[in-house]
Amino acid sequence: MLLPNRRKLMQGSGALLAAAALPSRLRAAALPRVVVIGGGFAGATVAKYVRRWNPQIQVTLVEPNPAHVSCILSNLVMNGALTMSDITLRYDTLRTKYGVSIVADRAVAIDPVARQVRTQNGSRLPYDKLVLAPGIDFDAIPGLDSAVLPHAWQAGPQTLALKAQLAAVPAGGSFVLAIPPAPYRCPPGPYERACLVADYLKRNRRAGKVIVLDANNDVVAEPHTFHTAFQTTYAGIVEYHPATVVEAVDWSARRIHTNWGPIQADAANIIPRQRAGQLLAASGLLGSDPATRWAPVNPLSYESRLVPDVHVIGDSQGTGQPKSGHMANAQAKVCADALVRYFAGEAPDPAPVTASACYSPITARTASWLTVVFAYDPVSGTMKPVPNTLAEAPAPSSEHYEGMFGWAKNLFADSFS
Amino acid sequence: MKLHLKRPPRSVALALLLAAAAAHGAPPAGRLLAAQCAQCHGTDGQAVAGMEKLAGESEGEIYGELVKMKANIKPDEIMHRQAAGYTDAQIRLIARYFATVGRSATTTGAVSSRRKSDD
């Protein structure tokens, strides 16, 4: 809880002006400090909204990259419809408009007792509340090197490497796309990518095959949309193999080993199984069972169930809500509201709602959508889908393709500017 | 605590009180629920492109549209599914919040600009 003198200072009506007049060192000692690790959709949104909702809380965002490259729309960079600058989101506005301090460094350790974050460059950042939004980490697959075969499941250089892979598929060649077991980042994403790879091959090379190896027993998201696309739109191009797990890769022989045997390929995009960002396990946020992949948190505040004053939002949290930029933004606001209330001595909102919506391109001109709304269920203490809210678009359309850009631009702006 | 203004105009003093209240008391009702609309409709309903702007619409308008969508879900309308995610009481709070932020951002001068920057 807060120190009494800090509480008192914050309650004064002239606190804003008084704080502005103090030297920064003194101000730092007097005002509540939130440190956010990770500048994706979750981290950027929580930093922005804490500052918007209470500018007396100091917010520091620790992120080694100079900008965030969005996974959302990145398949459209792969197929050449967009460029990297269209999906590159800078932190400038968080700093200039909202007063978020940006520390361009990598967080390497957390000391939950001293309440400090240690960075690669040796800084120690003290916090009253810590928010972890480090995204995902990947399981290793024997023989698979992401520098050779890009996963492109974190956008940036990997996106361009995948684009180059796709452009190099020989006429009539095969492209293998492997989907990990759920939960993984962006449930419809791999199927969307399979569609756009098929579309690209159809338009640029004729013939060719896209072989989808899905570790899951069926399409994880938008089953109607993607089964229709695979069987009709891309009939003769996409082959869909459920319950197929990649066990090893021998890329010098262009061979992929699965639970059903080896497959030859001309190009491949193998998306490995995922878990919470590395820092979480190292900091005790996943507990002692190595099978735990995502951080157990209280969905009213996203505070860790294991480490006090540490909150986890976005892909690393383990509430069972889908892992996506839109949901990361949704959770970040629930967390920001809980932090603002905490520093005012209040309990979190007892009935939070998180809304999910996303658009997936199916061809170069059409898109589908997927939506669901979650509400807190006080009986189970979990977020549950509200009846009648989970749905996919009945059919892809050019209208939804347009809608996709309206959605993405607003989501980018609401999170980063 | 002394203000750094010699004779603060009434509106400025009021603005500071409101800002302090907004920053430290209970968050305005509906603010967190309404923030879930912002992913598509812009921060505080100020859409940047390609989506309907909600800030400044009247409470009756927003409430009326959402309950109508919820009552008659059309399969091709993503917004109808979103509307179904909220109770009538929650929709009322969301509508009231957007009507309020719209009004304070456009018509009430000093108080509103202060609140806008601090809310």
Q: Which domains does chain B carry?
A: 29-106 (1.10.760.10)
pLDDT confidence bin for A207, thresholds 50/70/90:
confident
Can A32-137+275-348 and A140-272 be said to share one CATH topology?
A: yes
- Average pLDDT of chain A is 93
Instruction: Check if the beta carbon of residue A69 is closer than 8 Å to that of residue A75.
Output: no
Amino acid at B94: I
Give me the residue spans of the domains in chain A. 32-137+275-348, 140-272
Angstrom distance (rounded) from CA A125 to CA A28: 11
User: How many other C-beta atoms are found inside a 10 Å radius of the C-beta of residue A393?
Assistant: 25
Cα B104 off chain centre by: 9
B21 against A177, higher pLDDT: A177
Q: Convert A235-250 to b/e letters by CB count within 10 Å (16 or more is b).
A: eebbebeeebbbeebe
Residue A74 has pLDDT above 60, yes or no: yes
CA A213/CA A108 separation, integer angstroms: 35
**Per-residue confidence at B25, pLDDT binned at 50, 70, 90?**
low
pLDDT for residue A144: 98
Token pair, residue A86, equals 């269209």
Chain B residues closer than 8 Å to A15 by CB: 1, 20
The pLDDT of A101-125, averaged and rounded, is: 97
The CATH class given to the A32-137+275-348 domain equals alpha beta
Measured CA to CA, the distance from residue A219 to residue A227 in angstroms comes to: 8
CB A382 within 8 A of CB A305: no
Residues of B (24-53) whose Cβ lies below 8 Å from A: 24-27, 31-33, 35-43, 47-51
CATH superfamily of the A140-272 domain: FAD/NAD(P)-binding domain (3.50.50.60)
Pick among B1, B2, B3, B24 to test the A interface (most A CBs inside 10 A): B24
The CA distance from A58 to A300, in Å, is: 22
- Is the ipTM beyond the 0.85 threshold? yes
In Å, the largest CA–CA distance within chain A is 72
A146-184: per-residue pLDDT in tens? 999 999 999 999 999 999 999 999 999 999 999 999 999
Does any CB of chain A come closer than 8 Å to the CB of residue B84? yes
**A47 pLDDT exceeds 80?**
yes
E strands, A152-236, where?
174-179, 209-214
Decide if A362 contacts A233 (C-beta within 8 A). Answer: yes
CA distance A141 to A151: 12
> Lowest mean pLDDT: which of A23-32, A50-59, A193-202, A329-338?
A23-32
* A41, closest residue in chain B (CA to CA): B39
Q: Where are the beta strands (DSSP E) in A78-153?
A: 88-90, 101-103, 107-111, 116-119, 124-126, 129-132, 136-138
- DSSP letters, A196-214, are HHHHHHHHHTSS-EEEEEE
Which pLDDT tens digit goes with each residue over A265-305? 999 999 999 999 999 999 999 999 999 999 999 999 999 99
- 3-class DSSP state for residue A191? helix
